[in-house]
Chain A
Amino acid sequence: MTSGLVRRGSGSYPADLEHLAAPPSCLYVLGDLACADARRVAIVGTRRASRVGREFAAELGFGLARAGLCVVSGLARGIDGAAHRGALDARRTAPGVPGPLAVVGSGLDVVYPAEHRELWESVAAAGAVVSEFGPGTPPLPHHFPARNRLIAALAEVVVVVESAERGGSLVTARLALDLGRTVLAVPGSVRAPVNRGTNLLLRDGASPVLDVSDVLGALGLAGPASPPGPVPARRPQHPAGALARRVGELLAAGPASPEALADQLSVHPLALTGAIEELAQLGLVEQPGLWWELTPAGAAVDW
């Protein structure tokens, strides 16, 4: 793994950064910046993502890397990390594809968040981790908007997967729009706070992303031999009891706490617990935090 310094004006300095009002005078690089020669797509989103969001970000990262694109993101918790993981998976299964590019808000020797050390090193080994901050710079809050502007400048298309109403990823999206980049957003439940930001982007005119081909389309690339999503006719039917189905229906609209479910259905906690147990036994729902949500298997069910 190499590390080095790329000065503005040198051949390997990404030309797209010149679109910025104040391009960084130099970039610190860990890894090989050659991955940036491919066409670049940024995948960004909240650090506090739902499981569905993280899985979809990984799916996008995987699909876009497989399509020969360089996935740009910020190595943060949540969506960013998931997107990088997806891109790395693609490279593992098909070694020819470009590695991911990460832009971080601290010095390259200051791994933040600390639990991403392994991911950080994998990205540097497969692609590159870059920063405009010198070694030893701590990840201060104001570094992240600066980091976001580099992500916006480096990407041709910015995909926002999940974002709260005032999330940092909306800052990236706005910077990208100012630079004339295309901004795409992944739609979500109108009730879930985690989808509020992306749904606002859609309302304001961003194009929706339902799968990888939507991103490829925005880049003017043909989608891969069209997998138009799961075939609706083949979706499994809902299982078991009537109450369990209504629980599934509600969860399909977004994650909810048992409290909220009991109130919406006006049932006794005992009955509700029975229904949730039934769904959990079938592997359709899970409880990742203080709420219940559908598993991928549950999301595939036609409630």
Chain B
Amino acid sequence: MLAMIAAATLLGAVGRPVTVEVHVSSGLPGFTVVGLPDEACREARDRVRAALLSSGFAWPMQRITVNLAPSGQRKGGSVLDLPIAVGLLAATGVVPAEAVTGRAFLGELGLDGSLRRVPGMVPMVAARRDERCVVPLDCVSEGRLVAADVEGASCLGELVGVLRDGLPWPEPAPSGAPDAGERPADLADVRGQAFARLALEVAAAGAHHLLLVGPPGAGKTMLAHRLAGVLPDLDAETALEATILRSAAGLPLPGGLLRRPPIRAPHHSASLVSLIGGGTAAVRPGELSLAHGGVLFLDELAEFPPSVLDALRQPLEEGVVRVTRARASVVFPAAVLVVAATNPCPCGHATSPGGCRCTATERQRYVRRLSGPLLDRFDVRVVVHRPPEDDLLALEPGESSATVAARVAAARERAHRRGVVANAHLPGSRLDELAPLSDPARERLREELRAGTLSGRGLHRVRRVARTLADLAGEDGPLGLCWVALALQLRQDPARHLQVAA
């Protein structure tokens, strides 16, 4: 009268194997769940009972004990509904014991006996990839991304039909077309804006974080949304990580494996936890991790609370988020390309002399948020201007995303040969070897250092951006003056206009 069912729960973005032990014995009728279940897990009792009765099975008037092993770990969520129900059916002899051995069951039950999806199906199936997994029917395609043998059923009755009566597994509905169809908006829509387009290309090719500064209506948001379109497809490993993170956050995966870089654009009122990840009940990946492999777009950068921006700094350096709580600590991948947009001042017009209508105090307060360590993270910073109306009609459509993406892919290929994913990751100690300077370029940088307009850290960043520029043009060898000068031009300092206004 004992059944052991393989299952899994979710911690962060990782599935953890759990064994559900169901014991049915004589005694006072009752139903206990032990093994550190959380609230949703304890409620499984009521759902399982109702689901069994609705599906036409008898509820044993016996003493039922469910243990969730390892019993020291806290288990959360409703994913254990199905294994508990299957365990009960096996323990009471409704389904033969050999039908459930070697299988793992994952899913939530409705009161009518239907099987429902839960967040994190992909990582949980991954944790049980050696067993034959049974999941809700609409999760089968997701499960098959990470495990070979995944079957599904739409309700408990159907599942019993397969396990007891040997009926065939129901066919999942064909999944939607791969997400190639929803390619983001094209760069060809952007007219003019030569510097901003170049900045976008450089950011994509070198994985340089990008800051767009400009007045309202200049097209900063439009540009940022086109960045994902010129990034190369995700490699297999990143695609799987990104898919798992998306699944763990409970977001739909219409096209199966995430092949295109995602773009996430949290609003500036987003809380720290929603950006970084965390939470009390379940540790959930934040926006930063959902953008893994893709673009995190921070519109109105200066409006984000300083605490949130500070919290972003360490993950940006490391490429992972570490969320440590009293009960668990979790690591989420978070290799993102940050694109931020900001007005130069509260009124937004300080990009031209005399254009700004803010008081000096207002601007000082605004720029203080932008300056310093945060600004330093952005290798590429350009001013986006609002093109005159006539130009919008007169200018030729720009290059298409596909053309730019081809150059980006070629530049990344060159970076690969240097042993890094992209030039932004070139180690400072090897810059002399990997990004040597020509004499005029060295002289130019020396001038900037002497004038105090460039810091030591800034120097490294300029060299990396110059390397990317040369890569995009297909040039090897020492960096010419033109690339360094252009890299400097792509490094505007929005804090500088303050000194002018004084």
Chain A positions near chain B (C-beta within 8 angstroms): 46-51, 77-78, 113, 115, 162, 164, 166, 192-196, 255-260, 262-263, 266-270, 272-274, 276-277, 288-291, 293
Contacts and interface: CB of A to CB of B under 8 A. Distances in A.
A233 B351 CA distance: 35
B198 interface: yes
Nearest to B197: A269
Given A47-B501, A259-B383, A274-B485, A290 B354 contact: no
* Most A Cβ at <10 Å: residue of B350, B385, B481, B494: B385
Contacts of A259: 193-196, 382-385
Given A258-B383, A274-B485, A289-B500, A48 B354 contact: yes
B489 A162 contact: no
Given A259-B195, A260-B385, A290-B492, A273 B482 contact: yes
B352 interface: yes
Interface of B: 192-196, 198, 213, 344, 349-357, 360, 382-385, 387, 391, 395, 469, 481-482, 485-486, 489-490, 492, 494, 496-497, 500-502
Nearest to A163: B354
A296 to B, nearest CB: 16
8 contacts: A193-B349, A196-B354, A259-B382, A263-B385, A270-B469, A273-B486, A288-B496, A290-B497
B485 A164 contact: no
Contacts of B354: 46, 48-50, 162, 164, 192-196
A257 B385 contact: yes
B353 A194 contact: yes
A34 B102 CA distance: 104
A274 B482 contact: yes
Contacts of B501: 47-48, 77-78, 289
Contact of A273 (B213, B489, B492): B489
A260 to B, nearest CB: 5
Nearest to B363: A48
A258 B195 contact: yes
A263 B502 contact: no
Contact of B193 (A77, A113, A263, A273): A263
A47 B354 CA distance: 9
A166 B354 CA distance: 11
B486 A290 contact: no
B485 A291 contact: no
Given A115-B502, A255-B353, A290-B350, A263 B482 contact: no
Contacts of A255: 352-353
B195 A290 contact: no
Contacts of A274: 482, 485
Contacts of B344: 290
A268 B496 CA distance: 25
B496 A290 contact: yes
A263 B192 contact: yes
Nearest to B483: A270
B195 A262 contact: yes
A46 B355 CA distance: 11
A279 to B, nearest CB: 12
Contacts of A267: 194
B457 to A, nearest CB: 21
Contacts of A113: 360, 502
* In the complex, the 6 A-B pairs of residues with the closest C-beta atoms, listed nearest first: A194-B354, A289-B497, A262-B194, A263-B192, A50-B353, A289-B500
A293 B192 CA distance: 21
Given A77-B360, A260-B385, A269-B489, A291 B195 contact: no
Contacts of A269: 194-195, 198, 486, 489-490
Contacts of B355: 164, 193-194
A247 B196 CA distance: 19
Given A51-B500, A273-B489, A290-B213, 18 more contacts: A48-B353, A48-B354, A50-B354, A77-B502, A113-B502, A256-B352, A258-B489, A259-B194, A259-B383, A262-B192, A263-B385, A268-B194, A270-B486, A274-B485, A288-B500, A289-B353, A290-B350, A293-B353
Contacts of A268: 194, 198
A176 B48 CA distance: 87
B211 to A, nearest CB: 12
